[in-house]
Structure 1
Amino acid sequence: MRVPRSLAQKLSADLTAAEFTVSALTELWGEDAEQALHRNHRVPALRRLRTQEPTPASTLATLFVLGMPVDRSALHEALPTLGVDGAEELDLVDASGDSIRPNRDLRPYSFIDATGAGSWWIVSDLGELALGRELGEDHVLGVGGASLSLAGLMLQKPVQSVLDLGTGCGIQAMHASRHAQRVVATDISERALEMARLNAELNGIDNIEFRHGSLFEPVEGELFDQIVSNPPFVITPRRADVPAYEYRDGGLVGDAIVREVITQSAAHLTPDGTVQMLANWEYSGATSGLDRVASWVEGTADGVLDSWVIEREVQSPEEYAETWIRDGGTRPGSPEYDTLSDAWLDDFDRRGVRAVGFGYVILRLRADSSGSTWNRYERLQTPAGQNETGLGVHVAQCMSAADRARSMTDAELATCSLTVSGDVTEERHFWPGAEDPTTMMLRQGGGFGRTRPVDTALSALVGACDGELSLGAIVGALAQLLQVDEEALASQLVPQVRELVDDGILLLP
């Protein structure tokens, strides 16, 4: 069903008039109730609302965020332009009686990106809290933790075209619309595409084209400056009694959907085009998950893909099964939960999977195929959510700096006057009564929040990087101070400096 644009515009007008915003809702029920909602517990919010006079914002929050029925008269007051009939036509509500029930989740969403602060309203399917049961297999997910991670990871430099592969409710396409001239958003689910269209129209975004189909089929033969994807990467047993949720299950065995996106993406990138995606990968036999991803990347497109793959978490088969069975709304202790757990663990046992990794994949198609590729695979198991808002900006800066540093010889790098990034601090730990530190660490406040051990020489070098002295001059002064051979010290320190440049800890002029 295609939604009339006029209805989306009326809904937008009503939501604006009702001041249906993130800050307004938090003010309605308070920070503690807000945190409880993140844990799928709505009672604290409901109790706070009962103590207040109803407002349009509280009516909309009760209906669409908390998933509770409201009176017809109250909803008419909250949506005077759209009306109850219009809300029903948009399939937002079931208006068959005087008590109006929600059919969809509708909530405000706010963010900050490289362009500045922004806010939207996002329509998705009702979650487990409102449904009181397991999710349907055609469930359209709203803005969750993975959505926020990818939105933060997205490179935000201006480009002509972006492909959002597996758009879901459309949130990544909407973010991409802020820095791209044109966005193509695809999904295998028609329901998801309809909700994504509604979200774009509701928020006045008109540079997104929506197409139905699997993976790259809807864009065969087309090239894009950027591809973003939160693909349906969840590893699911291929059994009839295991739900295949469209929003997370790509229908292939194991991590094959991730392999397909990685290996096919090069054929759809312009020179210097990039990919940012979330992914799972399996540990099988003696092969690590990162080695598995490396084999996909480096065996693709004649080896012309630069890559930066970051593993944020590793789960055992038991932990992985628990995570995704619970995600679908099946509660531990039920017969259904036990059946699904058996199915997941049987699948992992049969295929020899000993662990599953989760992380970020960043790719770039080299414009110059004659040069060597830049391939970086690392484990950064920092707390989930840390600094994710600005990761895309940080990643772009690190990649640019790495390109520049790799184009320089050690002698050329020695002529540069580097500076320390403003978010970097140094920690020193001492045994009680000791004059010298036992441990020294550089700690990065932004980016990936890295902590890097350093020795006395490297600590002194970083401390002297004030943008005035050249790297060569600093190494020479340190050699005299430490009474060591300058050439030997340079051989020790310059490779470490290159690593710090790659990490965004030291900045090139």
Structure 2
Amino acid sequence: MPSPRPPRLPAALAYGLRADLAAGFTRAAVDDALGPVAAAALQREEPVAARRATEGASEPAAVLARLFLLGVPVTRAALDAALPRTTTAGAAVVGLVTAAGEAPDDEVRAAVDLRPYEASDAAGEARWWLASDLGELVTGRSLHADHVLGIGGASLTLARLTVRDHRPRVLDLGTGCGVQALHASRHADHVLGTDVSRRALDFAAFNAALAGTPLELREGSLLEPVAGERFDLVVSNPPFVITPPAAHAAGLPVMEYRDGAKPGDSLVADLVSGVGAHLAPGGVAQLLGNWEHHAGEDWRERVGGWLEAAGTDGWVVQREVQDPAEYAHTWLRDGGLRPGSALFDAALSAWLDDFAARGVEAVGFGYLVLRRPAEESRPRWHRVEDVTTPVHGPLGGHVAHVLATQEWLAAHDDAALAAQRFRVPDDVTEERHLRPGEPDPRVLLLRQGGGFGRTYQPGTLVAGAVGACDGELTLGQIVGGLAVVLDQPADAVAAEVLPAARDLLLDGLLVPADD
């Protein structure tokens, strides 16, 4: 069965559709129509409770949720009432629905997934409606090779990770349904979205038109459509899934939204090494990706080599690691295949054979942040780490802080650092662990509430210095005071405190006194 055509929004219908959705199809309205139990179940992709909650309901949120989120047919009369300006006829012209006839009781079915989208990032709250292809939950079938994905966990992660200061030119590489481009449109002068999929670009164009946001869209693979161009921000949730050719030979389709059709993790490696040439001075690239853990090789050295090839500053944060069987199972289920089916088992075996033959022991997932320094002559900064602590808020502001602080630290020697005043931010707390009856703690921890929620265990000197950082004294004065109180040479105290202060500043556990 061929994929349905993507929706198109004629200018004459845009205002009415936008007004209809704003009046009756918001996240709050849908949650109210479903109730907490059904809404939570639907988040887990369990539709039965939501079907029961909306059965017989006539309010617009229930009708539209039933139609577009659950894939249950509604009557033409019900949809006309839910979209009074657009009506079923207009929705069919746009390509949102197909109608069996023109009688009030005739069935209307969703042609696309359309849902209210609300998210929080470093620029504040974002609210749109986003269309994408219907998923397995609605169709009951495995996905088409040209499936255009809607909002998933990876999309939300990247949106919350991205820096949101003003950026003149932004590239959303692999834009899909256009959500990252829409986020960027709020803080950029010009946003360009690219994708290898023509269908994805058509969905992105529809979503931009529905949002009333101008986007430039180009078709092409990875960096090919922007040869010779530079950007102030590049964001990408690329097709990073590591799928062996043997799995496709067994009948698994090449899914455009996730399969880059390159061996191993070379697509991410090539993108990292190539994107630096497309960054303007001070430009930042933020990507999601997978990388392989090979037997006998530290993954940090391998991914760190990608950063060396990029010629930029680079920061890689690994957030999750899966073993080969878990990884293959995840992506087979993502495509709508059921465990135990012949194709599922054949593709899983091909995946495991490929990983075993190449010595792949695990696959990591995480974030890659690259920046082209404004001063090209300075040494590059690289950081590759494993951070699995829970994150409770948008990270874009924290990423911006780390990049700005690293730039400041690169330009200031220890003497300049010692001349500054610092304070402990409000989200950092101190924990002391004592055994009962003992006056002094055995363990002292600094715990960060924001950012990556890091925990830092300082030594006695560093703990004393941090405790004195209230914005009144310079770090050098604090070092001198510690030396006197503890009867230690000032140089020895500085040798321990100043490097630690750099680390604490970089991670946001210390900040300048005037911040």
1:243 aligns with one of 246, 253, 258: 253
Q: What is the aligned length?
A: 500
Q: What residue number does 2:15 align with?
A: 9
Q: Spell out, residue by residue over 1:75-109, the C-alpha distance to the aligned partner (whole angstroms, 9 max, x if none).
A: 11111222212212222222125121112111111
Report how far residue 47 of structure 1 moved: 2.5
- Rounded to whole Å, the distance in 2 between the matches of 1:96 and 1:289 is 55
1:338 aligns with one of 341, 345, 369: 345
2:282 aligns with one of 272, 287, 305: 272
- Rounded to whole Å, the distance in 2 between the matches of 1:345 and 1:329 is 19
- Rounded to whole Å, the distance in 2 between the matches of 1:436 and 1:404 is 36
Residues 255 and 8 of structure 1: is their aligned pair in 2 closer, same or farther, counting only changes over 3 Å? farther
SS at match of 1:467: strand
Q: What residue number does 1:228 align with?
A: 235
1:106 aligns with one of 82, 99, 114: 114
2:375 aligns with one of 339, 362, 368: 368
Q: Spell out, residue by residue over 1:312-357, the C-alpha distance to the aligned partner (whole angstroms, 9 max, x if none).
A: 1111111111111111111223333212211111111122211111
Q: Spell out, residue by residue over 1:351-370, the C-alpha distance to the aligned partner (whole angstroms, 9 max, x if none).
A: 22111111111101123221
Q: Spell out, residue by residue over 1:14-52, the C-alpha distance to the aligned partner (whole angstroms, 9 max, x if none).
A: 11222x1111211222233222112111222223334x7
Q: Spell out, residue by residue over 1:85-140, the C-alpha distance to the aligned partner (whole angstroms, 9 max, x if none).
A: 22122222221251211121111111233433231101111112111121111111
2:131 aligns with one of 123, 133, 155: 123
- Rounded to whole Å, the distance in 2 between the matches of 1:34 and 1:429 is 42
- Rounded to whole Å, the distance in 2 between the matches of 1:116 and 1:266 is 28
SS at match of 2:116: strand
Q: What residue number does 2:471 align with?
A: 467
- Rounded to whole Å, the distance in 2 between the matches of 1:27 and 1:80 is 21
Q: Which amino acid in 2 is paired with 1:204? A: G
Q: What residue number does 2:402 align with?
A: 398
Q: Which amino acid in 2 is paired with 1:57? A: A
CA contact (8 A) 1:441 1:451 kept: yes
Q: What residue number does 1:430 align with?
A: 434
SS at match of 2:202: helix
1:84 aligns with one of 83, 88, 92: 88
Q: Which amino acid in 1 is paired with 2:93? A: E
Q: What residue number does 1:440 align with?
A: 444
- Rounded to whole Å, the distance in 2 between the matches of 1:357 and 1:187 is 24
Report how far residue 496 of structure 1 moved: 0.6
1:216 aligns with one of 207, 216, 223: 223
- Rounded to whole Å, the distance in 2 between the matches of 1:233 and 1:299 is 19
SS at match of 1:309: strand
Map residues 14-413 of structure 1 onto 2, 5 A cutoff. 14-18=20-24, 20-50=25-55, 53-97=57-101, 98-206=106-214, 208-238=215-245, 239-240=248-249, 241-300=251-310, 303=311, 305-383=312-390, 386-387=391-392, 389-413=393-417
CA contact (8 A) 1:227 1:276 kept: yes
- Rounded to whole Å, the distance in 1 between the matches of 2:42 and 2:261 is 31
- Rounded to whole Å, the distance in 1 between the matches of 2:122 and 2:362 is 36
Report how far residue 209 of structure 1 moved: 0.3
- Rounded to whole Å, the distance in 2 between the matches of 1:223 and 1:401 is 24
- Rounded to whole Å, the distance in 1 between the matches of 2:36 and 2:436 is 41
Structure 1, gaps ≥5 residues long: none
CA contact (8 A) 2:122 2:163 kept: no
Name the TM-score, length of structure 2 as normaliser. Answer: 0.94
Q: Which amino acid in 2 is paired with 1:43? A: V
CA contact (8 A) 2:73 2:109 kept: yes
Q: Which runs of 4+ in 1 moved over 3 A?
A: none
Q: Spell out, residue by residue over 1:208-267, the C-alpha distance to the aligned partner (whole angstroms, 9 max, x if none).
A: 101111111111221111111000000011132222111111111111111121111122
Q: Which amino acid in 1 is paired with 2:377? A: S
- Rounded to whole Å, the distance in 1 between the matches of 2:406 and 2:374 is 16
CA contact (8 A) 1:464 1:474 kept: yes
- Rounded to whole Å, the distance in 1 between the matches of 2:326 and 2:220 is 32
- Rounded to whole Å, the distance in 1 between the matches of 2:36 and 2:438 is 45
CA contact (8 A) 1:69 1:101 kept: yes
- Rounded to whole Å, the distance in 2 between the matches of 1:69 and 1:175 is 32
Q: Which amino acid in 2 is paired with 1:353? A: V
Q: Which amino acid in 1 is paired with 2:292? A: E
Report how far residue 432 of structure 1 moved: 2.9
SS at match of 1:468: strand
CA contact (8 A) 1:282 1:288 kept: no
Name the TM-score, length of structure 1 as normaliser. Answer: 0.95
SS at match of 1:434: coil
Percent of residue pairs identical:
51
SS at match of 1:322: helix
Report how far residue 3 of structure 1 moved: 4.0
Q: Which amino acid in 1 is paired with 2:331? A: W
- Rounded to whole Å, the distance in 2 between the matches of 1:335 and 1:428 is 56
- Rounded to whole Å, the distance in 1 between the matches of 2:305 and 2:402 is 23
- Rounded to whole Å, the distance in 2 between the matches of 1:26 and 1:423 is 32
- Rounded to whole Å, the distance in 2 between the matches of 1:143 and 1:423 is 31
Pick which of 334-343 and 191-200 moved more: 334-343
Q: Spell out, residue by residue over 1:437-476, the C-alpha distance to the aligned partner (whole angstroms, 9 max, x if none).
A: 2221111111111111223322222121111111112122
Structure 2, gaps ≥5 residues long: none
- Rounded to whole Å, the distance in 2 between the matches of 1:121 and 1:14 is 11
Q: Which amino acid in 2 is paired with 1:15? A: L
Report how far residue 53 of structure 1 moved: 4.2
CA RMSD across the alignment: 1.6
Q: What residue number does 2:510 align with?
A: 506
Q: What residue number does 2:458 align with?
A: 454
Pick which of 326-335 and 62-71 moved more: 326-335
Pick which of 148-157 and 91-100 moved more: 91-100
